[in-house]
Amino acid sequence: MAKHRVYLIPGFFGFTHMGEKPAERIVYFGHVRDVLLEGFQKRGHTAEVESVTGHPTASLEVRARLILRTIEETAASDDAVIHLIGHSTGGVDARGLVSTWMPRKAPHLLERMRSVVSVATPHHGAPMASFFLRDRRGEMLLRLLWLFTVFALRRGPRPMMFLAFRLFYSLSQTGHQLGFQSTLLDQITRLMAHLTPTEQATLEDFLSQVGQDQSIIGDLTPEKMVGFNRDTPDRPGVRYGSVITGAPPPSLLGMLRAITGKHDPGMGDLVSLRMLDPQPEVIYGAYSFLYKKSDPDARDMVTPDPSPTHDRLLRDVIGEDYRHRSDGVVPTRTQLWGELITAVVADHLDVLGHFDEPPDNVGWLKSGSHFRGPQFQGLWDRVLDFMVDGSQARP
């Protein structure tokens, strides 16, 4: 019976969790960690699964160093085999860590590395990074998010601000009683309505990091990723695999699915009180904006042709036009690296367990993908099999 150490690496703007109280906490990898621990146990293996705290928007080099430090601090107590799972940019971090930083700084850990799993990762670049880098509107969006939030927090706990959050929270609770969906906005409102001093300091520190260093944006452009892939060869003896995501392009039907929470909304749904709930419409609008900026047809994003087997699987699962699809953030055709573990119709955050299936799961994006619990379980079962099968002695 092998022992495993699994490190979950968040992507751009990623974090481990926000909030102290378990009932109000917003957790990046929470659902993934639970399903992995249960899956290893069912397979007769022992495992430690840990979310890695890095810098949300710093360069790939800075992020890799922070991740390596966490692994060195936690993995020294045993000789368990090591797996890295990176979501979005985290998958690029994981590859750089294994190919560049471990050989230089921690060769003893490299000997224990067994697999690198990337989930919805822009291996050949993210056109959205080019938007944020070159378009002043994109830069402005990031800076406004940081400046507004940090300014509000640094002003201290102003009664009117928190009264406003509490009022909004009360209104959202009333909306749920009328059948409205729970959304990420509800979670954020609930968190902000009861923000403790510790939570306030944590959030301020997170957003300060974002404001001080946004180097990751430049590192993820298609042009920069060409150089990264050239200089970052896969390590012999480490198994590389990817989870590919693609979501439905924005449409009227997609918006209706997002609002009603149903794959096939009927006339009864269209005249229900749910149609009065503005939050899903706003979030679907944000998804539509992000999908457009993800630019799956970007000419400067050069991707290799998949093998006939991979091509057939992607066509069967995501659609004949998968090369022109995106998960709302990362184009589908840029996500393949190594073995294709599985492909799913899902948006960028569905695969973390942030899909619409209350009370335990709340969708962060409203994409109309209709990704639910069975698909989530099936996806991570395949990842578990991939890690366990590759955990034997290194070739």
Who wins on pLDDT, 221 or 184? 221
Q: CA–CA separation, 282 vs 138, rounded Å?
A: 19
| Section 22-27 average pLDDT | 52
| Section 230-241 average pLDDT | 95
Q: Which fold has domain 3-133+216-389?
A: Rossmann fold (3.40.50)
- Write down the pTM of the prediction: 0.78
Sequence spans of domains, the chain: 3-133+216-389
- Nearest CA among 18, 30, 101, 17 for reference residue 59: 101
Q: CA–CA separation, 108 vs 118, rounded Å?
A: 23
Tens digits of per-residue pLDDT, 156-211?
Answer: 444 434 444 444 444 444 444 545 444 444 444 444 555 566 655 555 555 555 55
Who wins on pLDDT, 26 or 352? 352
pLDDT band, residue 280 (cuts 50/70/90): low
Give the burial class of 8: count Cβ atoms within 10 A of its Cβ; 0-12 exposed, 13-18 middle, 19 or more buried: buried
The pLDDT assigned to 386 comes to 96
The pLDDT assigned to 189 comes to 46
Longest CA span, the chain:
63
Q: Are strands 113-119 and 81-87 parallel, antiparallel or unpaired?
A: parallel
Q: CA–CA separation, 247 vs 227, rounded Å?
A: 28
Percent residues over pLDDT 70 in the chain: 65
Query: SS in 3 state form for the chain?
Result: CCEEEEEEECCCCCCCEECCCHHHCEECCHHHHHHHHHHHHHCCCEEEEEECCCCCCCCHHHHHHHHHHHHHHHHCCCCCEEEEEEECHHHHHHHHHHHHHHHHHCHHHHCCEEEEEEECCCCCCCHHHHHHHHCHHHHHHHHHHHHHHHHHHHCCCCHHHHHHHHHHHHHHHHHHHCCCCCCHHHHHHHHHHCCCHHHHHHHHHHHHHHHHCCCHHHHCCHHHHHHHHHHCCCCCCCEEEEEEEEECCCCHHHHHHHHHCCCCCCHHHHCCHHHHCHHHHHHHHHHHHHHHHHCCCCCCCCCCCCCHHHHHHHHHHCCCCHHHCECCCCEHHHCCCCEEEEEEECCCCHHHCCCCECCCECCCCCCCCCCCHHHHHHHHHHHHHHHHHCCCCCC
Highest mean pLDDT among 176-185, 186-195, 338-347, 355-364 belongs to 338-347
Q: What are phi and psi of 64, to 5 degrees?
A: -65, -40
Lowest mean pLDDT of 53-57, 175-179, 195-199, 326-330, name the range: 175-179
